[in-house]
A and B are shown apart, each in its own frame.
Chain A
Amino acid sequence: MRDRVHELTRRIHDLPTLPAVYQQVEALTRDPSASSAQLALLISRDPVLTARLLRVVNSARYALTERVTTVSRAVSILGHHTVRDTVLATSVLSLLPTEPRLQDLAGAFWRHAIAVGSAAQVLGAPSGGPAAPELFTAGLLHDIGKLIWLRFFPDDLLAIHEAAAAADITLLDAELAMVNTTHVRLGRILARRWRLPEVYQDVIGFHHEVGVGTGNASACFVVQLADLVAHALELGWPSPLLLPTVQPEAWASLRLDPEVLPDMLEAVQAEFQENIELFPLFTNDGAGAASDGQEATPAPALAG
């Protein structure tokens, strides 16, 4: 399996690019002269994105007294960046494998992503740092490097989990030992290739180790802690694995009193339930993961 490193890196280029609609939405959000009407028109051409956006704006989070039924109204309420991130999350979701035998694995990956996004929202709220929607998306995308394994080498991903459990080491150490690379390195390449916003590139590439010169260090630390919380609560990957280590500076950056953590965990669970409803993996309306002619893969079993 140690020969995988070159193959994994090569496979990054086999992953589909993000849909054109995301690229167009992203370009509009960077254009100061772009209007909400332009953005709404673009979204409304895509029924899946339209349904998702309306679901988000009508969710309890926005606590609106009247139901929003038009994309233009949704865009004006949510703002351009939240619209962009909703499109981004939907686009990533569409890249997850849909084969029935991979659903457990894809489901665990997606639930963990949603859990880290939810935890990042909650943990980051009191710090006055990055905005909650941005933290949610950062958390959602943090392990995007594992998408390469999930799509092309799902058995390797399972083998890494099993090896970590057997050797009583963290997942990150198991990746290094078995494949001589990590999802962080793969994610960094993928994020650059997808031209994701800089904050997401930084979080994907540095959420396990924030260096002195790391950009968006505040968001990276929040996601590092959110990853710890999601693993602790086993929202996603159910396993007895050792929890990831976190840097002492991470807690310090949030200035959180340890006494507030029990209430925060309750809030994380509530956020998780809400977000998993907004972004379910498989839906009947086509808004979840969608098949795109992906390669057949053997059937792995997710260890509980």
Chain B
Amino acid sequence: MNAPTAIAATPGTQAGAGRAVGVGVLRAPWVGRLGIPPVVFYALLAALLVVLVLYPFAVLLTSSFFTGQPGRLGSFTLANYAVWLGSWDLLPIMLNSMIFSASRLVIALFFALLFAWAVARTNVPFAGLMGWMIPIPFFIPDLLTGFGWLMLGNPQNGIINQMAQQFFGAQGPIINLYGWGGLIFHASLNTISFMFLMLVGFFKQMDASYEEAATTLGANKLRVMITITFPMLAPAILSISLLVFIHGLESFENPLLFGNPGGVYVFANEIYRMLSYRHPPEYGAATALSVILIVVTFALLVVQWRKLGGRRFTVITGKGYRPTRLRLPGALRWGIFALFVIYFLLAVVIPIGQIVFNSFFEIFGLYGWQYVTLKNWANVINNSRALNGLKNTIIYATLAASAVVVIGGLVGYIRVRTRHWLGYALELMAWAPWTLPGVVMGLALLWAWALPPQPFNLYGTALVIIIGFIVKGLPLGAATMQSAVHQISMELEESSRVHGGSWLRTVRHILAPLLRRGALAAFVIVFAIASRDLTIPLLLYRDDTETLTVTLLHYYETGDMGTLAATSLIQLALVMMLLGLDRITREKED
């Protein structure tokens, strides 16, 4: 370790004798700098992102003008677009999507605002508990709670309907979750949680001095809420609402589970229908519809930028904040709390409880002590399909999350620390898949990686699913890494450089340890996104690359509810593990 040659003599050595500090002038060992200019490195990273992100976009767009199918382009045609634009077929899909997305948004916004405001700004009972529990549904995949609710509320043999007929003598089904009702109901549950998560921070961190100013000018607390608090948060609320609306247009699981059996088709399940339920699959029409969906979402995004780009109210200063909590009358306090309890029952306890319950019965709906069995669990463990799915999910999600942490870290570092224009280009590319619907992404990757000749033809390989997870996880993963880099003061790195640390040693001793927490957070986020994703593997899997979500859908479609329930709980355990990990990393950050 102690290399005497490093402490070389320099002109200062003689003068150093008798100084208060040090044994002599110490010199840093000369480490040769790599001869490669950093721009080359940026360009290589940009090239990687072009291949990962832009290339599938481009192929999707191109193939929408061709007659072929993945692996073979065929000849040029406009017929794919004629299917949609030359008929009235697009109209119901467009209308259904808008109605679905808008009603989901309105319902979720109302409850999310109520809960966020109550938790952050009022004396609602158990505010801390509510703040902790309302985000939980967001972490539970729609697929699982959807299965739970469909077991309970399908019109043929849903448990609620069975019980109604058995105990109360109902003639037909009293509840039917197929179609619009079930679709909007179930999609709203998860969205409330997501919007709460986005909004509660704004309510909590809003600078109290704006409200205090209104109070000193004679407004009572309720008037302050109405005239100051909500209007000031309006841009944030609007921005989040637009985002939720756009995501509504892309959602797949709910339309698939609740829409399909009720004949409600929006963009995502219509695209999937053309690919999977038609023989032969109508690749051309599906691809054209995908491009139309991209255009619609992009137009909405432009609206979001235009409307909100210039005027963001700066209300989040975080300083000088003292919670000014509104004292609500008792009935209102407990009323809001009761709503929360009902919400949590509907969003988590009832559907998950149903799955847990069902996992111990062999025949769906035949519940009684004499039927309790562990057969389903044995089935899951002995039948390699579920375990193989779990194994694949963990491997693919781990690899994708690791890749995103590395790519996102590099993109974030270049973007934050350099002024090079490629930094912006990299950020933009990493962010681009943000609003790309999962089904569209799957289809684009299918086209893109079935097209090239061997050995670049990745069709049917695990790699193409991993690439899909990387692309899907990149926007949030890169943003997380970027903010992690952002939080590290540049002076911490510069201080290392000045005091003798080369670039490489600065990365090793300073940057890497300081980024560890952010990297863990990014890893967890991407792993969570990947492990719960259905659309990408659904379009890209083959038997041996099936993920757990695909396995789940298979059991649902074959009606094997016992095995479905047990397998769902494995998926849930994976999710809960992540939730715990996420909470731990977050608490450490605070």
Q: Do A and B come from one complex?
A: no
Chain A contact residues, CB within 8 Å of chain B: none
